[in-house]
Amino acid sequence: MKNRNQPNNPQPFQPVGPYLLPCPPEPPSDYLEHWIPLTSLERMAETYYDVIIVGSGAGGGAVLWRLCERWRKNGERVALLEAGDLLLQTHAYNLPTFDSARLTKFLANPKIGRPIGAEWPDYPGATEFLALGGKTLHWGAVSPRFHPEDFKYWPIQYKELVPYYLIAERVMNINQGFTAGSSLQEILLDRLRFAGYYDATDFPIAVDREVTKYGEIHSNAFFSSIIFLAYALNLGSFDLAVKARVIQVLVESGKAVGVKVVTPDKKSCFIKGKTVVLSASTFENPRILLNSGIRGEATGRYLINHSFTVTLATASRKQFPEVLGNTGILIPRSEDRSYQLQIAGTDPYKYYWYHYKERPLQEELRFSVLGFGKVEPRVENRVTLDPARRDEYGMPKLNVHFSYSEQDQAIIGQLASSSTYAVSSMGMSIEKIPCLMPPGLDYHEAGTCRMGDDPCTSTTNRFGQVHGLSNLFAADNSVLPFIGAANPTLTTIALAIRTADYIIHRLK
């Protein structure tokens, strides 16, 4: 009787000698030279693009992701031009070979983090960080929304940005789970709330801690713009060039028609397209616009940042139970509070790498209290071109004019006293009294291409479109007209997604 499990025409196994049948792998038809596909500038110069994006940090990455997410692979052409080179494939916190000391030394390398503030007496803490992914490769990832009160300086209301906040928070995996289960966090929060900081809360932080219901383990826990590039690669298509320094926007008949790019060997080429988006940074966007002869009354003006204080504190280990956990506390800006405090520990910023080390037993716990104060947008705080000084690409260098107003100074005083009070409220001792960091070390500069309805006091309109040029946009910190006291990256990304949607609508 025939066995039902047998095939109708069974084929006997035919080994070759003592081995199985040979089955060589299919040779790849192509190969990658780098961990992300690159396109030569020569080839890009032969292509006409729907959108050209200058800069790959938070703003440029968000615009790229949204365009590819909405367009998919429908034939639209997108170019991404990055002045820096390939550096890290992920956020530095995701790399086990770093620790806080090694990362600090890595970022201090002048080939990576160029101390441009050395040329600016008014803004000595500024650093230029040129790399694919920009400063998102090492940002702190704390991601609060701006307070609704901050939008009184904006051309749009808070509620208009809420849908884009929700999109950004989803794609960045922002959550408050980083300190979940930490007894140290719970004790310190209770102490702060009892002392009057009723709104003290867990860090909202862009770190993906979860395993999906399908068991997937994500390779990039801390968010960077590299994740935007990964989504864009798999959802749509784009051409990417690195070491591509954009020095001018080309304008013909009242429209942007492309950009002029200079290579490291000082060759010039022109990339043409329907729409140009500048996401090169708060300093580089106005520099490119001014060097292109696009000179709005507000371009380069209204430079803002955060006044930035650092306080170091210690606490006795005996105060807390045996199992500690980590601390990430946000005391947010409020209607009555013109500043924000971030409290981190133990051993601030070393916690990320503890699982690769043998953690020492500690008698004393160390914490940092970072304070960020509101700074007024003032027309006299600005960047200007210096035709007498040029860089290696022939572009005029920048001068920076910046100072804190009396109101800013008063908030700095509040920061210092509040930081000290928060330390004592948590049962800690001051190790280093509040110290005001030089302007630029907060990395939160903004405002030099600010949004607004009046071209006399703003560079771009409410969608990031440069006044007078319907197809030229800015999408990074430079468009933020006011940043209150919150870290700006989440809001910059939300706004960049909104700008991308507007560009898609226009190109239809």
- For the stretch 230-262, pLDDT in tens is 999 999 999 999 999 999 999 999 999 999 999
Q: Residue 141 in contact with residue 468, Cβ under 8 Å?
A: no
The verdict on residue 1 lying in a domain is no
- Percent of the chain past pLDDT 90, that is, above it, reads 83
Counts of helices then strands in the chain (DSSP H, E) = 9, 19
On average, the pLDDT of the chain sits at 93
The reported pLDDT for the residue numbered 211 is 74
What's this model's pTM, rounded to 2 decimal places?
A: 0.94
Give 387-432 pLDDT, tens digit per residue: 999 999 999 999 999 999 999 999 999 999 999 999 999 999 999 9
The reported pLDDT for the residue numbered 28 is 80
- By residue range, what is the domain housing residue 86? 41-507
Q: What is the CATH number of the domain that holds 480?
A: 3.50.50.60
The reported pLDDT for the residue numbered 298 is 98
The reported pLDDT for the residue numbered 222 is 95
Gap between the Cα atoms of 98 and 358, Å rounded: 15
Give 148-175 pLDDT, tens digit per residue: 999 998 999 999 999 999 999 999 999 9
The yes-or-no verdict on residue 2 having pLDDT over 70 is no
The verdict on residue 444 lying in a domain is yes
The verdict on residue 14 lying in a domain is no
Q: What Cα–Cα distance (Å) separates residue 317 from each residue in 22, 179, 321, 377, 392? A: 64, 18, 8, 43, 54
Q: Residue 506 in contact with residue 473, Cβ under 8 Å?
A: no
The verdict on residue 480 lying in a domain is yes
The reported pLDDT for the residue numbered 93 is 94
Beta bridge partners of 256: 251
The verdict on residue 27 lying in a domain is no
Structure tokens at 44: 């890009």
The yes-or-no verdict on residue 508 having pLDDT over 90 is no
The yes-or-no verdict on residue 213 having pLDDT over 90 is no
Q: 3-class SS at 205?
A: strand
The total number of structural domains that make up the chain? 1
Give 304-332 pLDDT, tens digit per residue: 999 999 999 999 988 888 778 899 999 99
The yes-or-no verdict on residue 215 having pLDDT over 90 is no
The verdict on residue 33 lying in a domain is no
Average pLDDT over every residue of 131-149: 97
The verdict on residue 120 lying in a domain is yes
The verdict on residue 420 lying in a domain is yes
The answer for residues whose C-beta is within 8 angstroms of residue 204's C-beta and 6 or more apart is 142, 143, 144, 174, 175, 176, 330
The reported pLDDT for the residue numbered 327 is 94
